[in-house]
Structure 1
Amino acid sequence: MKVINVFKVAKWFIKNNYDNPRNNFDGNMKLQKLLYLAQLVHLYLYDKELFEEPIMAFEKGPVVEAVRIRYRDDTFNFIEEAKTMFMDLNQKIIKTLELTVELFGEYTAKELSEFTHTHACWEEALENSTRSNGFHSKNDSIIPIEEMKKHALPGIKQVIEAKKMTSDDNDKCEIVNGKEFYYDPSNISLNDRIYEILSNFEGEDNSYTVYEDPSQGLVIY
């Protein structure tokens, strides 16, 4: 599985209005936390990085510096690019991003910042980067992926599995061609058209979630 450019991930969040409130402080801070959390969710789902760009430990939490600067210095154009960008993302990436916003999209920038402050990998990188004069070394502020796996991934796993347990109470499962398709009966009714789509669906995973989106139609992730 190839990694994706982090700016595409950022633009997906922006296009779907998750950089709210949209400004170069709170909006930017929330965007940074969602990028970090999406990296963790992707590691949980596939044990692979979503993007290669380094994540740094800043005082208000993890940050992808290139995205932070672009959003801060060129907010309007960045947002306009995101609004008009064609999202040619594969199903695994979409699954990661959809799950990330399902879990964390409704939280504020401050709440997400406080959540990431509980991660030892962020705290250690911040301490390592702090100099005696109070300034920080950017090179030493990078949070290694292995440290994220060790210190942050277990907590993300708990969040995801807790969410799955609560949603499973309402969801139903249909097995088609050996694949499990979970759906909410209040959102979707499996008719002949949908069965045909599921029968022809090609994917590498064993289980998927299916729902009807008003603008996109049937979504499988």
Structure 2
Amino acid sequence: MTNQLSSLDVAAWFIAVAEQEGCPISRLALQKLVSLSQSLYGYDNHEKLYDEEVMAYPYGPVTEAVRKTYGDSGDSDIHEPRTELKPLTEEQLDTLSRIWGEFAPLSPGNLVNATHDMGPWSKYYREQGPFRPIPWNELVEAWPGYELDAETRSQTASDHTPGNYCKPQENEGMYDELFSRARRNARVLTLS
């Protein structure tokens, strides 16, 4: 991969998009979106989005870097990323846009339920610790279930796709087609 991201890079993108849309993201929701991004990206591209383990914590899958940087639970809102936004490849942008469109409208509690009800979290979580990693291949195999679960938790679709605000400033025109395609592909699920 030519543009390797970290889980903090992924988190920064979601935080920036959430803030631009006027809906700051909670720590709990952020961790779920970052983990779900690893699942979808692996499913679509057969490689890791970021080279970090996703761990089985009490409220679902978490990366250590995001947990240490933004906290490990709770609904307190995050208003700005603590790392710089990185330019994204077309595949990375597609993945993050889809995750935002399908899962951002879910409440943090529904995100926790989605990651508990579907996927390998329960197989690796131990209440007494130590917290264990969820194997990447199992996280990837769980993607269709995660997506189906998000669809069943929704009632209506609306456009919740990020706009031009998350474009890197340099090479600005280079991203126009990527955002256009992301807008066409993103599905948003809004709960009542």
State the TM-score, normalizing by the size of structure 1: 0.60
Task: Check the 8 A contact 1:10/1:31 in 2, yes or no.
Answer: yes
Shift of 1:147: 1.9
Shift of 1:7: 0.8
Unaligned runs of 5+ in 1: 168-183, 185-210
Task: Check the 8 A contact 1:70/1:78 in 2, yes or no.
Answer: no
Change (3 A) 1:35 1:212: closer
1:143 paired residue number: 134
Pair 1:154-2:147 in alignment: no
Per-residue CA deviations over 1:108-150 (Å, capped at 9, x if unaligned) read 1111001111124100101xx34xxxx2013xx1100122234
Higher normalized contact order (CA 8 Å, seq sep 6+, divided by chain length) = 2
Structure-to-structure mapping, 1:114-153, within 5 angstroms: 114-126=113-125, 129-130=126-127, 135-138=128-131, 141-150=132-141, 152-153=142-143
Change (3 A) 1:90 1:110: same
Change (3 A) 1:120 1:59: same
Code of the residue aligned with 1:14 in structure 2: it is I
1:30 paired residue number: 29
Change (3 A) 1:80 1:124: closer
Per-residue CA deviations over 1:19-50 (Å, capped at 9, x if unaligned) read 9555xxxx111001001111111122212111
C-alpha separation between the residues in 1 aligned to 2:103 and 2:150?
Answer: 11
C-alpha separation between the residues in 2 aligned to 1:21 and 1:213?
Answer: 16
1:79 paired residue number: 80
Task: Check the 8 A contact 1:20/1:30 in 2, yes or no.
Answer: no
Per-residue CA deviations over 1:135-189 (Å, capped at 9, x if unaligned) read 2013xx1100122234x12314657999xxx99xxxxxxxxxxxxxxxx9xxxxx
2:15 paired residue number: 14
Across the aligned residues of Structure 1 and Structure 2, the Cα RMSD in angstroms comes to 3.6
SS in 1 for 2:61: strand
Percent of pairs identical after alignment? 28
Change (3 A) 1:48 1:21: same
C-alpha separation between the residues in 1 aligned to 2:121 and 2:79?
Answer: 27
Change (3 A) 1:101 1:120: closer
4+ runs deviating over 6 angstroms: 75-78, 159-162
1:97 paired residue number: 96
SS in 2 for 1:31: helix
C-alpha separation between the residues in 2 aligned to 1:212 and 1:10?
Answer: 15
1:5 paired residue number: 6
**Number of aligned residues:** 160
2:53 paired residue number: 54
Shift of 1:79: 2.5
Unaligned runs of 5+ in 2: 168-172, 182-192
Change (3 A) 1:20 1:114: farther
C-alpha separation between the residues in 2 aligned to 1:159 and 1:100?
Answer: 13
Task: Check the 8 A contact 1:41/1:156 in 2, yes or no.
Answer: no
